[in-house]
Structure 1
Amino acid sequence: MLAAGCQSEQPARARDGKRPARPVAQEPPPAPATERETSEPPDAVAVPDDAEEPAPAESPLPEGLERPDWLATRVLPLRADGFGEIQPTPPELADRRLPPPDLLPPPEGDAFAATLEPVPDDVLARSTWSSECPVDVSDLRYLTVTFWGFDDRPHTGELLVHASVAEDLTTVFGRLYEARFPIEEMRVIARRELDAPPTGDGNNTTAFVCRPTTGGTRWSEHAYGLAADINPFHNPYVKGDLVVPELASAYLDRELERPGMIQAGDPVTEAFAAMGWGWGGAWRSVKDTMHFSHNGR
């Protein structure tokens, strides 16, 4: 469910996808010219530090709004290229408006809040980072931000990002919050998800994921914490007959606008463009509408 690092590449997988190959050694891409770090976050959000993964928070849902219990459980048959079989979108997901699972405590009040700190040991342990990754853990930051869910409530999400773009991403998500752009889920990807068989229904917003580009020999921009994917199911990767996530074909019709979709000139593309980031939805041979990166790849 994650996007590729350049126009001609296919996305490596996390939960929805393909087992990644080991990339060859290479020089990391240059970081953005200005390295900045926020030492005083606007409002601290409590993050549990005594568990391998955050425990779901108790939060009643609006009547009639719930997540299907089969999400992430129906494994798809594999294609020859290792991706899951492309299947019709389930009716429940054709206009997907699922509430976030609230893995971190919801914020107090409606104001945008963010925290930024070195990556805590417990967060690192449940991430995809290892000593083989092309970025040192000292160059990553743990960012939490407030986002609006499809339940029209504020929630707290988490990302691992490169320190040099942490302020930019905080600004971006602040603008998305101001625009009330809905996001379904935002959490740190675990290593086991990279090797999981595809279910084709993931929709997690992420930044750093230590993985190579699928079919390539170099690291993805995500492996440096220099890229972000937003609502992958609403904004799938498309190349030829390949759609990722594999059940997201209902969202190939970009003229049929639904909440969570990213369109040219909307608050999402404008927020990233203001930071100088490129959008995969503007690519020609591949459309990767979920994907933004600091170098446009």
Structure 2
Amino acid sequence: MSLKRVELCSPNASVTLDVVRATATVLAATALLLSSCSSPAPPGPVPAPPAETSSAATTPATSVPPPAPVWQVGAKPLPLRRDGFGQILPTPPVLANRSLPTADLLPPPAGNRFAGTVNPVPAGVLARSTWQPACPVTAGELRYLTLSFWGFDGRAHTGEMLVNASVANAVVTVFGRLFAAKFPIEEMRVTAPAELTAPPTGDGNNTNAFVCRPARGLTNWSAHAYGLAIDVDPFCNPYTKGDLVLPELASAYLDRGNRRPGMITAGDPTVAAFAAIGWTWGGSWTTPTDRMHFSSTGR
């Protein structure tokens, strides 16, 4: 109020009044601005509630064990007969059409092509074989072969065997022909000494040559003891004499009309391949009938 009186008594009253009015306008605007700034701010977005967590423990991942083998060869000894062989039992269904996979002992052949090698017997191989000084041949008369073959699994593999040095190259030729014919062989390895005294299990199927043992049921040396005989897929081509069947679980393969892989029959590529090097087949014998057996001696 005192300001208003001073302005009206001043010689420049009109100018002062205008200034007062402008000042009042500014003050009003400022008050309005301050009023708006003091108003509460609009509510912001409501924050999302914290995500729920579970205290339940996560089940740890477990590795799946490999499937058990369909049949474990040599795992179940048979009860014995009075003659020392195993009892002749029915063929287990899983072996009635045998097609077990081959366990590789040596690298497979390159490019699935046949390869055969002939070498003196390495000391390590001789030590794990059945050879011993009482055998009818010296170690120097034997040769160590590596041979390609097709397995029942449809894959090419490399096997090994010991044979007499005099037939080594001819044997390589035979297995080259069997490889070309894709004749299946389950296993081909040197027979170990423990196998000569192991209880029979009746399920072996090893294709082999040299084994230092007598002929079956006799005391004289077998042709195998000279490295002059080879047994091919024994389970698929059993030995029979009277009521004896070897291997003891292979009776299903006595039905030769039911042709299955690995079986040898008269005139087939296997018989022809051995005949080409002058060897004879035990499957043509009357008694015993040794379907697995080929030899250079005829016995």
Q: Same fold (TM over 0.5)?
A: yes
Q: In the alignment, which residue of structure 2 is the partner of 1:287?
A: 289
Residue 197 of structure 1: aligned partner: 199
CA distance in 1, matches of 2:234, 2:272: 18
Q: 1:288 to 1:66 in 2, by over 3 A?
A: farther
Which residue of structure 2 aligns with residue 55 of structure 1?
none
Instruction: Kindly provide the amino acid, as one letter, of the partner of residue 153 in structure 1.
Output: R
**TM-score (normalizing by structure 1):** 0.77
For 1:287 and 1:215, locate their aligned partners in 2 and report how far apart those are by CA, in whole Å: 14
Aligned equivalent of 2:117: 115
Alignment of 1:47-66 (within 5 A): none
Match of 2:234 in 1: 232
Indicate conservation of the 8 Å contact 1:67/1:99, yes or no: no
Map Cα deviations across residues 51-108 of structure 1 (whole Å, 9 max, x no partner).
Answer: xxxxxxxxxxxxxx98435321111000010000000001110000111111111121
State the partner residue of 2:276: 274
Deviation of the 1:186 alpha carbon = 0.1
Q: Which amino acid aligns with 2:88?
A: I
CA distance in 2, matches of 1:66, 1:296: 42
2:260 pairs with 1:258: yes
Measure the CA separation in 1 of the matches of 2:96 and 2:115: 31
Could you say which residue in structure 2 is the equivalent of 1:57?
none
Query: Which secondary structure state, in structure 2, belongs to the residue aligned with residue 174 of structure 1?
Result: helix
How far is 1:148 from its partner?
0.4
Q: Residue 141 of structure 1 aligns to a residue in which SS? A: strand
1:211 corresponds to which residue? 213
Match of 1:182 in 2: 184
CA contact (8 A) 1:157 1:187 kept: yes
Q: SS of 1:193's equivalent? A: helix
Where in structure 1 do 4 or more consecutive aligned residues deviate above 6 Å? none
Indicate the SS of the match to 1:176.
helix
Q: 1:208 deviation in Å?
A: 0.4
For the 8 Å contact 2:71–2:94, the answer to whether it is kept is no
SS of equivalent to 1:186: coil
Distance 2:251 2:71 in 1: 21
Larger relative contact order (CA 8 Å, sep ≥ 6): 1
Bigger proportion of residues as helix = 2
Counterparts of 1:215 and 1:244, CA distance in 2: 12
Letter in 2 for 1:181: F
**Residue 115 (structure 1) shift:** 1.0
Is residue 72 of structure 1 aligned with residue 74 of structure 2?
A: yes
Displacement of 1:211 after TM fit?
0.4
- 2:90 touches 2:249 (CA, 8 Å); kept in 1? yes
CA distance in 2 between partners of 1:128 and 1:76 (Å): 23
Determine if contact 1:66/1:98 at 8 Å carries over to the other structure: no
CA distance in 2, matches of 1:233, 1:215: 19
Aligned-partner Cα distance in 2 for 1:255–1:119: 40
Measured in 2, the distance between the counterparts of 1:99 and 1:108 equals: 19
Deviations 1:238-265 (A, max 9, x none): 1111000000000000010000000001
Partners of 1:96 and 1:145 lie apart in 2 by 22
- Whether the aligned pair in 2 keeps the contact of 1:213 and 1:220 (CA below 8 Å) is yes
Which amino acid letter does the alignment assign opposite residue 114 of structure 1?
Answer: G
1:101 aligned partner, one-letter code: A
Q: Please point out which of 175, 178, 192 is paired with 1:173.
A: 175
Given candidates 242, 249, 252, the residue that maps to 2:251 is 249
Letter in 1 for 2:250: A
SS at match of 2:111: coil
Structure with higher Rg: it is 2
* 1:15-164 equivalence runs, <5 A: 67-164=69-166
Percentage of identical aligned residues: 66
1:111 Cα deviation from its structure 2 partner: 1.0
Matched residue SS, 1:270: helix
Q: How many residues align?
A: 234
Q: Which segment drifts farther, 208-217 or 243-252?
A: 208-217
Change (3 A) 1:67 1:261: farther
AA aligned opposite 2:77: V
- Asked if structure 2 preserves the Cα contact closer than 8 Å seen for 1:66 and 1:99, the reply is no
Give the gaps of 5 or more residues in structure 2.
1-66
Q: Which residue of 2 aligns with 1:20?
A: none
Structure 1 residue 217: deviation in Å?
A: 2.1
How far apart, in 2, do the equivalents of 1:120 and 1:67 lie?
Answer: 32
Counterpart contact for 1:67–1:98, Cα < 8 Å: no
